[in-house]
Amino acid sequence: MPLSIENQNKLDAFWAHCVKNQYFNIGYPESADFDYGSLERFMRFSLNNCGDWGEYCNYLLNSFEFEKDVIKHFAQLYRIPFSQCWGYVTNGGTEGNMFGCYLARELFPDGTLFYSRDTHYSVAKIVRLLRIKSQVVDALPNGEIDYQDLMRKIEASGDRHPILFANLGTTVKGAVDDIGRMQRLMSQAGFAREDYYIHGDAALSGMILPFVDQPQPHNFADGIDSISVSGHKMIGSPIPCGIALARKKLVDQISVEIDYIAAHDKTITGSRNGHTPLLLWYAIHAADFEEQKKRIGHCLAMAQYAVDRFQACGIDAWRNKNSITVVFPCPSEDVWKKHCLATSGQYAHLITTAHHLDSSRIDALIDDVVADLAEEAA
């Protein structure tokens, strides 16, 4: 049955809205410079990746082969032999965080999860869902975890199997917790490495750090046990998605056999999106390492450009090392609403995602913020 004229108009109006606002985004980390046109023909299929891409599945319309390729790619990117890891394409960073926390809790059922005040809101939700004991740790002014407060709280808790939730790029300030330093402090406090767990939340920066010349520690070789990355942020995707990756031996302990699909299940949901592995597969094969590096280099240069322009106008803007998130004092409500900025307390930020090819959007925002803060100060 064709749509009524009214409904057709409604759809057309929404299309126009999307076209007009396609590149609106400067306050959130979603890149909009993607083109998945060659995958549009797959929209007619009910793809479903329930279960594990590594096993036979009775449901034939799956994209397991592509998902396996994606996981192989990310295993290499995050420096773990493919044979020693397992991971899957998630619905986004939150699900990957939940997967990591779930593995940690199964390994250390009585462990307390320590996370900083600047951690993404998904984690407070996850510790409640999974009923993990947790403690919030202070954050340093730049957004990194307060290492001394972390160690104080771990020691005061008496916990022998702490779960460390590390931000590899915080949401508001783009700060990367120093997992090298965390491991040194843990060792000084008498913990062997196998006595505690480190999950890395790399929602945005997970797709930045492997491509810069001097990255902060962030991968499996640097000591993480699991990692979560968003696919719809730095990479860019029309459907939210992400990648969860963990040491294989940790995943084996949560695997259950499901007769209904004749396979093992290790994932959080049942049915899983079969289109998003295709999207990620396409993205990683459409641009090689050098092209990605160039694209990310452009974003980082734009971020520095914004910092310099703000500072030239006397505004205290800054960014963390290897971050495309530029932090500045929160302007008045009409300015942050006009530019759809995310604000947090006294701060706002802009994120120089890859669709900002030139500085026009950034300049327009900076002009408004500068005028607004000058007015406020007057």
Ligand X SMILES: *Cc1c(COP(=O)(O)O)cnc(C)c1O
Per-residue binding string, ligand X, 230-269, x by CB under 6 A, is: x---------x-x---------------------------
Burial class (CB in 10 A: 0-12, 13-18, 19+), 260: exposed
Size of the site for ligand X (CB under 6 A): 16
Our CB check for ligand X shows the closer of 341 and 373 to be 341
From 48, 171, 183, 292, residue interacting with ligand X (rule: CB under 6 A): 171
Which tokens go with 94? 């939150």
Which residues within the stretch 92-121 sit at the binding site for ligand X (CB under 6 A)? 92-94, 97, 120
Contacts of residue 63, defined as CB under 8 A and 6 or more positions apart, other chains included, come to 47, 49, 274, 275, 277, 278, 281
Please choose, from the candidates 80, 125, 130, the residue with its C-alpha nearest in 3D space to the C-alpha of residue 101.
130
Our CB check for ligand X shows the closer of 130 and 258 to be 130
The percent of the chain in helix, strand and coil, each rounded to the nearest 5, is 45, 15, 40
Least CB distance to ligand X at residue 81 (A): 26
Least CB distance to ligand X at residue 203 (A): 3
Give yes or no for residue 203 binding ligand X (CB under 6 A).
yes
Q: Does 17 appear as a known binding residue?
A: no
Out of 205, 323, 344, 360, the active site residue is 323
Per-residue binding string, ligand X, 77-96, x by CB under 6 A, is: ---------------xxx--
Our CB check for ligand X shows the closer of 113 and 203 to be 203
Handedness of CA 238, 240, 245, 249 (dihedral sign): negative
- Which region among 167-175, 279-287, 300-308, 318-326 touches ligand X (by CB under 6 A)? 167-175
Give yes or no for residue 201 binding ligand X (CB under 6 A).
yes
Which tokens go with 344? 């947090």
Our CB check for ligand X shows the closer of 90 and 292 to be 90
Give yes or no for residue 217 binding ligand X (CB under 6 A).
no
Our CB check for ligand X shows the closer of 303 and 370 to be 303
From 48, 63, 122, 325, residue interacting with ligand X (rule: CB under 6 A): 122
How far apart CA 335 and CA 10 sit, in angstroms, is 29
DSSP string, 184-225: HHHHHTT--GGGSEEEEE-TTGGGTGGGSSSPPS-STTTT-S
Contact between 375 and 45 under an 8 Å Cβ cutoff? The reply is no
As separate numbers, helices (DSSP H) first and strands (DSSP E) second, the chain gives 11, 12
Our CB check for ligand X shows the closer of 201 and 222 to be 201
Contact between 241 and 278 under an 8 Å Cβ cutoff? The reply is no
How far apart CA 50 and CA 91 sit, in angstroms, is 13
* Closest residue to bound ligand X by CB: 93
Least CB distance to ligand X at residue 98 (A): 9
Least CB distance to ligand X at residue 122 (A): 5
Residue 134 annotated as catalytic: no
Which tokens go with 319? 């960014």
CB atoms within 10 A of CB 48: 19
Cα distance between the two ends of the chain? 62
- Which region among 76-84, 198-206, 243-251, 304-312 touches ligand X (by CB under 6 A)? 198-206
The binding site for substrate consists of: 120
Residues forming the site for ligand X (CB under 6 A) = 92-94, 97, 120, 122, 167, 169-171, 201, 203-204, 230, 240, 242
The binding site consists of: 120
User: Which positions are catalytic?
Assistant: 323
